[in-house]
Amino acid sequence: MTDLDLLKQALEPDKRLVEEPMHTSPQWRGRVFGVDVMDVTQPDGRTGRRELVRHNGGCGVVAVRDDGRMCLVRQWRVALGRMTVEIPAGRIERGEDAADAAARELVEETGLVSTKPLEQVATSYGSPGFTDECTRIFYADQLEQGPARPDDDEFVGVLWADPAAVVQASLDGLVVDAKTIIGAYVATSRQRPC
């Protein structure tokens, strides 16, 4: 059995580990996410309570120029109280296709347009212990520059960096955004040798 086979097998449901939902009570609904409280039956028969954040999902784009540098946006994240550098990204609106949302966010934040369909390269659940927020990560390497069209409440700066430097910055604790770290690893794995 290969390690890949082992990982696939590990993801199969196991009754010794599965919690069964009994009752869900919506607590709050906002523009970006909602909060539910769920009562569950645990594998040993006891009951438990889970607080869950429900989110429609997000998307991000690993946009790479011909010279191999990847696009990043600088922005202030009030939840962290600090600046971050991230791949262009945003929310998927209810009913919106993830690839369409990613292309929209890329244009809004950077003015970049992919001249070929975006390729989904990864899926990330940032904190599956309490939220179902799923981020789909796309790749684009044939880009044209147009005007950025940020939302009225969106303030970002654009920069370009070598993906290997972004990976190192994540190891140094400078880049902390999960989708960006994943994106940098994807970009480094696709770099053409000199």
Q: DSSP readout, 38-85?
A: EEEE-TTS-EEEEEEEEE--EEEEEEB-TTS-EEEEEEEETTTTEEEE
Here the tokens at position 126 are 């940032």
| Average confidence score pLDDT of the chain | 94
- The rounded distance, in Å, linking the Cα atoms of 130 and 132 is 7
Residues 62-116: tens digit of each pLDDT: 999 999 999 999 999 999 999 999 999 999 998 999 999 999 999 999 999 999 9
Q: Which residue has the tokens 């011909």?
A: 66
- pTM of this structure: 0.90
pLDDT at res. 185: 97
pLDDT at res. 141: 95
Residue pair 72/162 in contact (Cβ under 8 Å)? The answer is no
User: By C-alpha distance, which of 66, 62, 77, 52 is closest to 180?
Assistant: 62
Strand partners, 23: 39
